[in-house]
Structure 1
Amino acid sequence: MTSQLPHDAHLWPLLLYAALVVLMASGMLLISHFLGQRHEEPATDEIYESGIPVTGSARLLFPIHFYIVAMFFVIFDLEAVFVVSWAISLRQVGWAGYVGVLIFILILVAVLIYEWRIGALDFGPNSKKILKAYYRRLQKKARA
Protein backbone atom coordinates (compact mmCIF):
# COMPACT_ATOMS: atom_id res chain seq x y z
CA MET A 1 0.00 0.00 0.00
CA THR A 2 1.61 3.28 -1.09
CA SER A 3 0.75 6.58 0.48
CA GLN A 4 -0.65 9.29 -1.75
CA LEU A 5 0.62 12.24 0.28
CA PRO A 6 1.23 15.56 -1.42
CA HIS A 7 4.84 16.44 -2.06
CA ASP A 8 4.79 19.25 0.56
CA ALA A 9 3.73 16.91 3.38
CA HIS A 10 7.35 15.98 4.12
CA LEU A 11 8.42 19.57 4.73
CA TRP A 12 7.03 19.83 8.28
CA PRO A 13 10.30 18.67 9.98
CA LEU A 14 12.24 21.33 8.08
CA LEU A 15 9.72 24.04 8.96
CA LEU A 16 9.72 22.94 12.61
CA TYR A 17 13.52 23.06 12.68
CA ALA A 18 13.58 26.53 11.08
CA ALA A 19 11.01 27.81 13.59
CA LEU A 20 13.05 26.42 16.50
CA VAL A 21 16.23 28.05 15.16
CA VAL A 22 14.53 31.44 14.81
CA LEU A 23 12.97 31.09 18.26
CA MET A 24 16.27 30.14 19.89
CA ALA A 25 18.26 32.91 18.17
CA SER A 26 15.72 35.60 19.04
CA GLY A 27 15.49 34.29 22.60
CA MET A 28 19.27 34.47 23.04
CA LEU A 29 19.30 38.03 21.67
CA LEU A 30 16.50 39.12 24.00
CA ILE A 31 18.12 37.51 27.06
CA SER A 32 21.49 39.11 26.31
CA HIS A 33 19.80 42.49 25.80
CA PHE A 34 18.11 42.42 29.18
CA LEU A 35 20.84 40.68 31.18
CA GLY A 36 23.90 42.09 29.44
CA GLN A 37 26.17 44.73 30.93
CA ARG A 38 26.20 48.32 29.74
CA HIS A 39 29.53 50.12 29.39
CA GLU A 40 29.64 53.88 29.09
CA GLU A 41 33.40 54.43 29.56
CA PRO A 42 35.28 56.21 26.76
CA ALA A 43 37.79 53.35 26.63
CA THR A 44 35.04 51.03 25.40
CA ASP A 45 35.02 52.63 21.96
CA GLU A 46 38.82 52.67 21.56
CA ILE A 47 40.50 50.18 19.26
CA TYR A 48 42.61 47.59 21.06
CA GLU A 49 44.86 45.36 19.02
CA SER A 50 47.04 43.06 21.11
CA GLY A 51 48.07 45.85 23.47
CA ILE A 52 49.62 47.95 20.70
CA PRO A 53 48.47 51.58 20.75
CA VAL A 54 46.78 52.96 17.65
CA THR A 55 49.20 54.84 15.41
CA GLY A 56 47.07 55.85 12.45
CA SER A 57 44.05 55.14 10.37
CA ALA A 58 43.08 51.60 9.43
CA ARG A 59 42.02 52.88 6.02
CA LEU A 60 45.10 52.09 3.94
CA LEU A 61 45.02 52.84 0.25
CA PHE A 62 46.34 50.04 -1.92
CA PRO A 63 47.31 50.52 -5.55
CA ILE A 64 44.63 49.47 -8.01
CA HIS A 65 46.87 46.69 -9.33
CA PHE A 66 46.09 44.54 -6.29
CA TYR A 67 42.38 44.71 -7.05
CA ILE A 68 42.95 44.01 -10.75
CA VAL A 69 45.00 40.92 -9.91
CA ALA A 70 42.21 39.76 -7.58
CA MET A 71 39.59 40.29 -10.29
CA PHE A 72 41.70 38.41 -12.85
CA PHE A 73 42.08 35.55 -10.38
CA VAL A 74 38.32 35.34 -9.88
CA ILE A 75 37.60 35.56 -13.61
CA PHE A 76 40.08 32.87 -14.61
CA ASP A 77 39.24 30.70 -11.61
CA LEU A 78 35.60 30.72 -12.70
CA GLU A 79 36.70 30.01 -16.24
CA ALA A 80 38.53 26.93 -15.00
CA VAL A 81 35.44 25.78 -13.08
CA PHE A 82 33.24 26.13 -16.17
CA VAL A 83 35.71 24.39 -18.47
CA VAL A 84 36.31 21.53 -16.02
CA SER A 85 32.56 21.05 -15.51
CA TRP A 86 32.16 21.00 -19.30
CA ALA A 87 34.96 18.42 -19.58
CA ILE A 88 33.29 16.21 -16.98
CA SER A 89 29.97 16.25 -18.83
CA LEU A 90 31.49 16.11 -22.32
CA ARG A 91 29.55 13.04 -23.47
CA GLN A 92 26.20 14.39 -22.25
CA VAL A 93 26.46 17.84 -23.82
CA GLY A 94 27.88 16.69 -27.16
CA TRP A 95 28.69 19.10 -29.97
CA ALA A 96 26.41 21.82 -28.66
CA GLY A 97 28.39 21.89 -25.42
CA TYR A 98 31.64 21.94 -27.38
CA VAL A 99 30.52 24.93 -29.43
CA GLY A 100 29.30 26.67 -26.26
CA VAL A 101 32.59 26.23 -24.40
CA LEU A 102 34.53 27.23 -27.51
CA ILE A 103 32.56 30.49 -27.73
CA PHE A 104 33.09 31.00 -23.98
CA ILE A 105 36.87 30.55 -24.27
CA LEU A 106 37.06 32.76 -27.37
CA ILE A 107 35.23 35.57 -25.55
CA LEU A 108 37.63 35.26 -22.61
CA VAL A 109 40.65 35.31 -24.93
CA ALA A 110 39.25 38.40 -26.70
CA VAL A 111 38.76 40.14 -23.35
CA LEU A 112 42.29 39.19 -22.29
CA ILE A 113 43.75 40.59 -25.53
CA TYR A 114 41.69 43.77 -25.11
CA GLU A 115 42.93 44.25 -21.54
CA TRP A 116 46.50 43.62 -22.65
CA ARG A 117 46.18 46.18 -25.47
CA ILE A 118 44.80 48.94 -23.24
CA GLY A 119 47.58 48.35 -20.70
CA ALA A 120 45.54 46.84 -17.88
CA LEU A 121 48.13 44.08 -17.48
CA ASP A 122 51.12 46.43 -17.16
CA PHE A 123 51.88 46.20 -13.46
CA GLY A 124 55.53 47.18 -13.49
CA PRO A 125 57.12 50.46 -14.48
CA ASN A 126 56.80 51.42 -18.12
CA SER A 127 60.26 50.90 -19.60
CA LYS A 128 59.61 53.25 -22.54
CA LYS A 129 58.71 56.12 -20.23
CA ILE A 130 61.75 55.42 -18.07
CA LEU A 131 64.08 55.40 -21.08
CA LYS A 132 62.57 58.64 -22.43
CA ALA A 133 63.07 60.33 -19.07
CA TYR A 134 66.63 58.99 -18.88
CA TYR A 135 67.54 60.29 -22.35
CA ARG A 136 65.95 63.69 -21.59
CA ARG A 137 68.07 63.90 -18.47
CA LEU A 138 71.21 63.02 -20.42
CA GLN A 139 70.39 65.70 -23.01
CA LYS A 140 69.88 68.30 -20.26
CA LYS A 141 73.23 67.40 -18.73
CA ALA A 142 74.93 67.59 -22.14
CA ARG A 143 73.51 71.10 -22.75
CA ALA A 144 74.63 72.38 -19.36
Structure 2
Amino acid sequence: MFIMMLSAIVIIGISLAMMMISSILSKKTLIDREKSSPFECGFDPKSSPRLPFSLQFFLIAMIFLIFDVEITLLVPLVSILKISKIYWFWAVSTFFIIILLMGLYHEWNQGALEWAI
Protein backbone atom coordinates (compact mmCIF):
# COMPACT_ATOMS: atom_id res chain seq x y z
CA MET A 1 0.00 0.00 0.00
CA PHE A 2 2.84 2.35 0.86
CA ILE A 3 4.53 1.67 -2.48
CA MET A 4 1.33 2.52 -4.38
CA MET A 5 0.90 5.78 -2.45
CA LEU A 6 4.53 6.70 -3.01
CA SER A 7 4.36 5.95 -6.73
CA ALA A 8 1.13 7.96 -7.05
CA ILE A 9 2.74 10.94 -5.31
CA VAL A 10 5.81 10.70 -7.54
CA ILE A 11 3.70 10.51 -10.70
CA ILE A 12 1.57 13.48 -9.64
CA GLY A 13 4.70 15.44 -8.71
CA ILE A 14 6.37 14.77 -12.05
CA SER A 15 3.17 15.71 -13.90
CA LEU A 16 2.83 18.99 -12.01
CA ALA A 17 6.50 19.81 -12.53
CA MET A 18 6.20 19.18 -16.28
CA MET A 19 3.06 21.35 -16.50
CA MET A 20 4.74 24.20 -14.61
CA ILE A 21 7.88 24.01 -16.75
CA SER A 22 5.90 24.01 -19.98
CA SER A 23 3.76 26.91 -18.75
CA ILE A 24 6.82 28.97 -17.86
CA LEU A 25 8.64 28.23 -21.12
CA SER A 26 5.64 28.86 -23.37
CA LYS A 27 4.88 32.39 -22.15
CA LYS A 28 5.36 35.10 -24.74
CA THR A 29 6.58 38.34 -23.29
CA LEU A 30 6.01 40.66 -26.24
CA ILE A 31 2.93 40.68 -28.41
CA ASP A 32 3.95 41.97 -31.80
CA ARG A 33 1.13 43.52 -33.81
CA GLU A 34 2.80 42.67 -37.10
CA LYS A 35 3.25 39.02 -36.20
CA SER A 36 -0.35 38.61 -35.09
CA SER A 37 -1.83 40.33 -38.15
CA PRO A 38 -2.73 38.33 -41.27
CA PHE A 39 -0.10 38.30 -43.99
CA GLU A 40 -1.09 38.99 -47.57
CA CYS A 41 2.01 39.20 -49.77
CA GLY A 42 3.51 42.00 -47.68
CA PHE A 43 0.49 44.28 -48.04
CA ASP A 44 -2.23 45.15 -45.57
CA PRO A 45 -5.30 42.95 -46.15
CA LYS A 46 -8.15 44.56 -48.07
CA SER A 47 -10.94 42.97 -46.05
CA SER A 48 -11.41 41.51 -42.61
CA PRO A 49 -9.71 38.11 -42.32
CA ARG A 50 -12.40 36.89 -39.97
CA LEU A 51 -15.56 36.00 -41.81
CA PRO A 52 -18.84 35.58 -39.93
CA PHE A 53 -19.57 31.96 -39.08
CA SER A 54 -22.97 30.48 -39.83
CA LEU A 55 -24.43 29.12 -36.61
CA GLN A 56 -26.99 27.14 -38.61
CA PHE A 57 -24.19 25.31 -40.46
CA PHE A 58 -22.52 24.51 -37.13
CA LEU A 59 -25.80 23.14 -35.74
CA ILE A 60 -26.39 20.94 -38.80
CA ALA A 61 -22.79 19.67 -38.57
CA MET A 62 -23.23 18.79 -34.88
CA ILE A 63 -26.50 16.96 -35.57
CA PHE A 64 -24.77 15.05 -38.37
CA LEU A 65 -21.95 14.03 -36.05
CA ILE A 66 -24.36 12.91 -33.33
CA PHE A 67 -26.38 10.76 -35.72
CA ASP A 68 -23.17 9.44 -37.28
CA VAL A 69 -22.00 8.23 -33.87
CA GLU A 70 -25.40 6.68 -33.27
CA ILE A 71 -25.14 4.76 -36.54
CA THR A 72 -21.79 3.39 -35.42
CA LEU A 73 -23.56 2.18 -32.28
CA LEU A 74 -26.21 0.46 -34.40
CA VAL A 75 -23.74 -1.50 -36.55
CA PRO A 76 -22.64 -3.96 -33.78
CA LEU A 77 -26.27 -4.96 -33.22
CA VAL A 78 -26.00 -7.27 -36.23
CA SER A 79 -23.16 -9.26 -34.65
CA ILE A 80 -24.95 -9.33 -31.28
CA LEU A 81 -27.91 -11.04 -32.97
CA LYS A 82 -25.91 -14.26 -33.28
CA ILE A 83 -25.04 -14.54 -29.58
CA SER A 84 -28.14 -13.16 -27.87
CA LYS A 85 -31.71 -14.27 -27.49
CA ILE A 86 -34.00 -12.91 -30.15
CA TYR A 87 -36.40 -11.31 -27.64
CA TRP A 88 -33.66 -9.30 -25.91
CA PHE A 89 -32.11 -8.33 -29.22
CA TRP A 90 -35.38 -6.90 -30.55
CA ALA A 91 -36.17 -5.21 -27.23
CA VAL A 92 -32.80 -3.46 -27.03
CA SER A 93 -32.65 -2.52 -30.72
CA THR A 94 -36.24 -1.25 -30.75
CA PHE A 95 -35.62 0.81 -27.60
CA PHE A 96 -32.46 2.30 -29.12
CA ILE A 97 -34.13 3.14 -32.42
CA ILE A 98 -37.11 4.71 -30.61
CA ILE A 99 -34.72 6.95 -28.68
CA LEU A 100 -33.06 7.96 -31.97
CA LEU A 101 -36.39 8.72 -33.59
CA MET A 102 -37.51 10.76 -30.58
CA GLY A 103 -34.29 12.81 -30.84
CA LEU A 104 -34.83 13.31 -34.56
CA TYR A 105 -38.45 14.39 -33.97
CA HIS A 106 -37.32 16.82 -31.26
CA GLU A 107 -34.72 18.39 -33.58
CA TRP A 108 -37.29 18.61 -36.37
CA ASN A 109 -39.90 20.10 -34.02
CA GLN A 110 -37.43 22.73 -32.75
CA GLY A 111 -36.65 23.75 -36.33
CA ALA A 112 -32.99 22.78 -36.21
CA LEU A 113 -33.21 20.81 -39.45
CA GLU A 114 -34.60 23.71 -41.49
CA TRP A 115 -32.02 25.69 -43.39
CA ALA A 116 -32.68 29.44 -42.99
CA ILE A 117 -32.24 31.41 -46.21
Please indicate the TM-score interval, normalised by the length of the shorter structure: 0.5 to 0.7
What is the identity percentage for the equivalent residue pairs of Structure 1 and Structure 2?
20
Cross-structure match for 1:27: 21
Q: What is the TM-score of this pair, normalised by structure 1?
A: 0.51
Aligned residues: 111
Q: Which residue number in structure 2 is paired with residue 140 of structure 1? A: none
TM-score scaled by length of structure 2? 0.58
1:97 Cα deviation from its structure 2 partner? 4.7
2:58 match: 67
Match of 2:104 among 112, 116, 138: 112
Match runs of 1:1-144 below 5 Å: 9-10=3-4, 12-13=6-7, 15-30=9-24, 32=25, 38-39=29-30, 44-46=32-34, 47-49=36-38, 51-52=39-40, 53-54=44-45, 55-56=47-48, 58=50, 60-62=52-54, 64=56, 66-90=57-81, 91=83, 95-113=87-105, 115-116=107-108, 120-123=112-115
Q: Which has the higher contact order (CA 8 A, sep 6+)?
A: 2
In structure 2, stretches of 5+ residues that fail to align are none
Matched residue SS, 2:75: helix
Is the partner of 1:19 in helix, strand or coil? helix
Deviation at 1:102, TM superposition (A): 0.9
